Amino acid sequence: MWIMRMKTISRMMRTGRQTSRVWTRLSMLMIAIFVATPGATAQDSVYDYIKPRINRDQFAVYCGQLGIDKNQRGIIDLLYEDYATELTDFADKIDTRSRIAGRTRLENAFAGRISMRGGELRALRAKILGIYRECGPAADEMLHNFLAGIEGFLNEDQKQRLPAAQRELRRKIMLHPRQAGSRVFNYAGEGVDVLQLVEKASTETGGELLGIEDKAIDELLTRYELDLDATLRRTFADERRSRLEYSIEKLNQNDEAIAKIQKQLTEHWNALFELNRDTVKAIGEVIERHSGTFTRNLWEDRFNQVAFEWLYVPTLPDRQMDWIRSSELDPELVQKAEIMYSSYLAGRDGLQREAISLMVRARQERGVTLHPMSLPSEVQQNAGDLHKDLLRNSGAKKNHDTRYAGEFESLLSAEQRKLMRRALLGAYRRR
């Protein structure tokens, strides 16, 4: 009897392990489907594909820039209501079509309420994404008709303001939404607007452009604004289409089509990145004439930090230094920590600039989106050497952080170290 029980338990354990492996594979497959379609999940909204579009706040600012008066505002408000209603009606139509095509079934599969094979999941996902192909062109048409309708009610003075107002509007609805992905590893400045950087550097305390008045900067920004607008108008629709097609072909596992789309996306990215970097460099040269090399480096680091935001997350030495500054410690100890922190930043910033150089080279020279979390199989053929260098760089940065974290602790007494660790742990848990 005892032997029979042991055999039964043994069979149960084998069955359990097999079931666990099945669920593990299914989970990995689901994760792979999500990862393969950036910005597109089973629970996404049709509105994720209806872009560009103007929200009410952007509409209000646009009217203010044009100088719309009270007499005009009533009819123009009605135009916006019609525009918003048209967007909603179109979204409802596409949403209904996607649900008829199986979107609800797909959601149930991802929620674990029903089971589907991997190939069936991918095929259904690709089918539903295909329905969203209509969204971009429809959004373009609705936007064009809405803006043309407003233009018809403008007087001559307002029409003079129209080009500048439309350029700013295009930046807000075509460029700035891409900043939502700035904390993702494969983001490399897709949504950066140098005009925003200049505004912050000109108004923030300690900003690199604070107090600098130079016609050369005005000329650079005027040219940049026009070039950026031309780039957005030339590439936005194709960029939008390419990203959707990339998601579909990734699900279809069509390597040839994927490679072609990746090349197009790289070209779009490079057009914007080169424009931004060249403008930042030119402004940096003006800053250097006024305030020196150190301030110029701060300005260029400002660009790096928004173009690769995920690379500049606070580190343990950053948090340690914040604690040291905010605690009532001996001034001499704090001064030593400040000197040590300056040395830490110099080393860290150098490693980060090296990492950025490697990732930019991978995109520009090899057509590969490279980041520390890239799988070797994804980059081996075209950028294996750069990937190795990036991993080495990542390891060096971790060692650099670890070394300085230990040195900061060595400045403190046992009781101070205990208090700091407790404070940092509490802050981490609250995040």
Mean pLDDT on 150-178: 97
% of the chain with per-residue pLDDT over 70: 89
Q: How far is CA 272 from CA 154, 230, 266, 276, 335, in A?
A: 32, 10, 10, 6, 42
Per-residue confidence band for 181, with pLDDT thresholds at 50, 70 and 90: very high
Query: How high is the mean pLDDT of the chain?
Result: 89
Tens digit of pLDDT for each residue in 78-103? 999 999 999 999 999 999 999 999 99
- pLDDT tens figures, 129-155: 999 999 999 999 999 999 999 999 999
Residue 10 confidence (pLDDT): 40
Question: What 3 state SS string does 168-217 have?
Answer: HHHHHHHHHHHHHHCCCCCCCCCCCCHHHHHHHHHHCCCCCCCCCCCHHH
Condensed to tens digits (0 to 9), the pLDDT of residues 374-394 reads 988 888 888 999 999 999 999
Peptide bond into 314 cis (omega under 30): no
Helix spans in 178-330 (H): 194-203, 215-252, 255-291, 293-307, 316-326
* pTM passes above 0.75: yes
**pLDDT tens, residue by residue, 345-378:** 999 999 999 999 999 999 999 999 999 899 888 8
CA distance linking residue 174 with residue 155, whole number of Å: 27
Distance CA 308, CA 305 (A): 5
Q: Is residue 110 pLDDT above 70, yes or no?
A: yes
Task: For residue 245, name the pLDDT band (cuts at 50, 70, 90).
Answer: very high
**Residue in the structure block whose two tokens are 């439309």:** 166
Residues 337 and 408: beta-carbon distance below 8 Å: yes
Is the pLDDT assigned to residue 15 strictly greater than 50?
no
Domain limits, the chain: 23-181, 183-310, 314-431
Residue with tokens 């199989």: 377
Helix axes 215-252, 118-131, angle to 10 degrees: 130
Provide the CB-side half-sphere exposure for 96 (13 A, CA): 6
Backbone angles phi, psi at 370, to 5 degrees: -110, 140
Q: Which CATH class is domain 314-431?
A: mainly alpha
Model pLDDT, residue 12: 36
Q: How many CA atoms are closer than 13 Å to the CA of 74, on its beta-carbon side?
A: 2
In whole angstroms, give the CA distance from residue 124 to residue 107: 11
Residue whose pair of structure tokens reads 């940065």 in the numeric block = 397
H-only helix segments in 327-413: 331-366, 376-410
Say if residues 279 and 192 touch (Cβ distance below 8 Å).
Answer: no
